[in-house]
């Protein structure tokens, strides 16, 4: 009987200590930051996106070391969604038409380059994107976060 009581007491102490340890952990909250920019009607890759001698990328966003996901929305003046390619460190991270359907994982602290209507033909062609190769001027809104 003593052994049974001791076993239950030890089991109760173990369960209680695990529950207390779990309750003491702070839950990570979702923290987000939004970066907005605009782009011009310059015909990249003949010229840069925002000025004649500038970068082909229409917007470059530096992610912080705490940011691991992003969503983006691109609104062109013509009102139709446009093809967008996102690159980081020379590699393609994502492509989307108008806006990202869900959060996209990125390397923490990476640099994200947003190319509007500038495709790697024929690999990135998206026939379901109505104005996939036509851009005028517009805005890019990028939301970065620590959690999806």
pLDDT at 3: 61
Determine contact, residues 110/88, Cβ cutoff 8 Å. yes
For every residue of 101-123, DSSP letters joined together read SS-EE--TT-EEEEEES---TTT
Tens digits of residue pLDDT in 16-54: 555 555 555 677 899 999 999 999 999 888 888 999 999
Residue 116: is it exposed, middle or buried by C-beta count within 10 angstroms (0-12/13-18/19+)?
buried
3-class SS of residue 15: helix
Tokens of 16: 């209680």
Does residue 7 register a pLDDT over 80?
Answer: no
| CA distance linking residue 120 with residue 131, whole number of Å | 16
Name residues whose C-beta falls within 8 Å of residue 25's C-beta, 6 or more positions apart in sequence: none
Q: CATH top-level class for 32-145? A: mainly beta
The per-type count for the chain, helices as H runs and strands as E runs, is 1, 8
Tens digits of residue pLDDT in 93-143: 999 999 999 999 999 999 999 999 886 655 666 667 876 678 899 999 999
pTM: 0.78
């Amino acid at each position: 009987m003593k052994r049974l009581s001791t076993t239950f007491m030890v089991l109760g102490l173990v369960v209680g200590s695990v529950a207390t340890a779990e309750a003491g952990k702070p839950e990570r909250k979702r923290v987000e930051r939004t970066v907005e920019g605009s782009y011009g009607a310059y015909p990249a890759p003949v010229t840069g996106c925002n000025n004649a001698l500038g970068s082909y990328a229409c917007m470059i966003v530096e992610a912080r070391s705490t940011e691991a996901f992003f969503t983006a929305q691109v609104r062109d003046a013509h009102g139709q969604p446009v093809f967008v390619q996102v690159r980081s460190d020379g590699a393609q991270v994502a492509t989307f038409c108008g806006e990202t359907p869900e959060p996209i994982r990125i390397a923490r602290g990476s640099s994200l380059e947003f190319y509007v209507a500038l495709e790697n033909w024929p690999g990135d062609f998206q026939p379901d994107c109505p104005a996939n190769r036509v851009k005028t001027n517009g805005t890019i809104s990028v939301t970065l976060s620590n959690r999806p």
